[in-house]
Amino acid sequence: MTAEDDLIHFGIPEITDDDVAAVARVLRSGWLTTGSECAGLEAELSDYLGGSEVIAMSSGTAALDTALAYLDLPRGARVGVPDWTFVATALAAVHNGLRPVLLDVDAATLNLSPEALAAEIDDLDAVLPVHFGGVPVDAEIHQLAADAGVPVVEDAAHALGARDDRGLVGGPGTSPNCFSFYASKNLTSGEGGALATDDEDLAAFARSYRLHGMDADAWARYHPGAKSGYDVVRPGIKANLPDVLAVLARSQFARFEQSQRRRRQIGLRYRAALADAPVTFIPDVIPDGSADHLAIVALRPGVDRDAVQATMSAQRITTSVHFRPLHHFSWFRSDADVGRSGLGTCDDLADRALSLPLHVNLTDVDVDRVAACLSECLR
Ligand SMILES: Cc1ncc(COP(=O)(O)O)c(C=O)c1O
């Protein structure tokens, strides 16, 4: 026990003794980079997702980069991106020579607004919706893109385990989905990610693109009896997931469903505990298919969010903000386009959204303490 014991951290991963033992086993195995553990993780995720091909990557950003590279769009092609997302979503388009078009979001979910997309779809070459906080995007988004013949890459960084009327996000029949296994995500390898797709050509592209465009990885080349040569079939990137990280994700995945259930309980407990507080949860009611990645409240207009965060921090509770709208950053202000319907919802919520601690290490007592502290701050 340490002096940190009463600290309720915004987000810390649950690392069990089994996780530590699994990583130690790989460290001692003599094979640290991409090999059998990575292949095992891909197979387990593929099985979970109902048969989609899964290509593990060094990050969710790399998975987005790869899915966009496969589209082979001309330089300057316009990609619709929700303004309310982490910068990586839009920067993946930029890294591919594409121009982000920032679109407004729905206040109820902070997901890409169908109205904003409808106003712009005829002038877009691709769309990058984000399943924000693990809540799947509106079905209308997929319909609008399909009707316009515009390809979609789904940013599923928050959405492993999310489900909509197509089935699991990343399952067969969905567009390419890009998951993140960053330290704060529901499933983590520290850093990591994966692309899930039912398109065999994209899967083959991604397997070589993530490793310099080579047609064989080290595991395939250094196995006893394996052919040691390789060809370079495209100018790829370096974005493979090493076994020493893949094994952590595998170990965590063994208890994923249980962890997801606990996240849901926490989200519901917050809503009950703060039912009378002057805040609105986003979303107000958790949809069945949510992956429960974040617990976000909108503060009332005029409430000083910085002061709320500082007061809670003084009470040893850390909170966060997901996210600052992209157009509030200098680079995006000068180098991205804004969709025709403007960014009014993003501007309205920019200084009001507050993310409460949500991770499986939280006890019910912790959740109640966070809720009581927030209520007190807003009194
Ligand atoms: C919405 C969103 N997209 C993309 C990413 C990028 O994922 P990674 O950090 O694994 O590259 C993140 C990571 O936080 C994210 O929150």
Domain boundaries, given as residue ranges, for the chain? 17-253, 256-378
pTM: 0.97
Residue 228 has what DSSP assignment? Answer: -
CB 61 less than 6 A from any atom of ligand 1? yes
Share of residues in the chain with pLDDT > 90 (%): 95
Q: What residues contact 155, with CB distance under 8 A and at least 6 apart?
A: 60, 64, 85, 89, 128, 129, 130, 131, 178
Q: Verify whether residue 227 is a known catalytic residue.
A: no
Question: According to the 3-state scheme, what is the secondary structure of 314-374?
Answer: HCCECCECCCCCHHHCHHHHHHCEECCCCCHHHHHHCCCEEEECCCCCCCHHHHHHHHHHH
* Structure confidence at residue 3 (pLDDT): 46
Instruction: Tell me the pLDDT tens digit for each residue of 15-69.
Output: 999 999 999 999 999 999 999 999 999 999 999 999 999 999 999 999 999 999 9
CB 85 less than 6 A from any atom of ligand 1? yes
pLDDT-derived band of residue 349, with 50, 70 and 90 as boundaries? very high
Please state, in angstroms and rounded to a whole number, the distance separating the CA atoms of residues 176 and 67.
7
Instruction: Tell me the pLDDT tens digit for each residue of 326-340.
Output: 999 999 999 999 999
pLDDT-derived band of residue 219, with 50, 70 and 90 as boundaries? confident
CB 86 less than 6 A from any atom of ligand 1? yes
CB 60 less than 6 A from any atom of ligand 1? yes
Domain 17-253 class, CATH top level: alpha beta
- Please state the φ and ψ torsions of residue 202, each to the nearest 5 degrees: -60, -40
pLDDT-derived band of residue 4, with 50, 70 and 90 as boundaries? low
- Please choose from 180, 186, 189 the residue to mutate so as to test ligand 1's pocket, defined by most ligand atoms within 8 A of CB: 180
Q: Residue 311 half-sphere exposure, CB side, CA atoms within 13 Å?
A: 15
* Active-site residue (options: 142, 185, 207, 327): 185
Domain 256-378 class, CATH top level: alpha beta
Query: Of ligand 1's atoms, which has the minimum distance to the CA of residue 155?
Result: 3
